[in-house]
Chains A and B, each alone.
Chain A
């Protein structure tokens, strides 16, 4: 029973991690929490759903389509809104307010475009389960878990091993100095939005498959946001750890206590952890230099 819950928790936490890493990536470069990130995931889910219902595309095609759609929307947000706000030299607070506005816009736009109803993907996989000792895992969960692992490993390699990742880390550590060194920082900002958007898109498709697709499904990103705060704002690995903690905690509370208490425990834990570690589990304390 416990192991079963643990596996479910990791599976849910993995999907949170796909979104949470996006929060961390964008925060590390721009210093603000992109509240519109959940809606990017929602958009990816709708893209995939549309493709599947129209063309009977297989899972992989739908996944790629959703990922691309979400990535493009994420860049669109950056180019149309965030970049302009930065160019005005406005405080980062304005970026967050804009993100809130974008989130509201997309949520209600989706409501008008697709209707408020919950839509299911047509069944793509056998509903059979894999038996591993005492644990049984649905095929869908296996695929979801594999997709998550592949995406996160690729992301980690990309950031920590590739030349592009070095550029991202450079811009993150000090975008102003990086721009003085001749690095085209806007390109890296766009790149990070693309990466974050693609990750969110994959999360959206997986969530849509597991549950359903609906206009406010982006609110799930709240959990991912909490995960990224828990892990420490701007820390990608912290976000993954935070997401797994939250995923596991949620399934455990639902399984052993009551699903009504799930959110209460999550938020309670969040506040307690922040009081003990004000900059999250893996965050860096920034001292304001006078």
Chain B
């Protein structure tokens, strides 16, 4: 499978401020691509370049192998972070208008809208004005409007903000369903747990530069430190601590258990095997806990940003 979207060395300056410096990303077809980075890193600018809202100073973007053009607007669905709807317009009318701006025929748009409204159980909102709806309700409409024209590429900037956990889950399921139907998703968020759940690939942007990108699993492998979290019951904890400290590099660990085990993080060198550690531990006491520490997206994020 090729890449649906490729950005090549995109740079953008606003006056003296560099918003993007030579950023390249490749979004594989059918993937969920997490665009991560601290506030003000340049994520939104990159997304705006992809949406042809902002023109890059240098570099170019390919969608499906083609340089971005006006007609690509209908291939992209964009849910911006700063989002809203016309407050005094009726829900149905507004959704139709926005769908038509994306190049849909009115009749087709109406048909699909009714389907979506039925699925999300919001059918009776058609004639309500946005100002009569709660924020979460308006967000649902906004989501539907974003995906209605069945674009190849969906871009969500902080999609879950403003949703309660139930609706956030609903939207997450819809995103995954769209992905399974063949859409490619670019997903920008600060919520690392949703990155873990959804993303196949990530790119990390910091201070206008891309500092990390690739397949999430591969990145995790690259970041793992061969450390194991261990809980063990022995007759003499301090004695055992002493023995282990001599043999391995250890650090205190914190996790919840029922007993009062000795809790440690044990870092192995590349030569040492997990099995050897485990069999060694079994000779010293009752092992109640043995887990390989996999770096979370959050850890990777913090670590990478700090190192830069």
* A and B physically associate: no
Interface residues of B (CB under 8 A from A): none
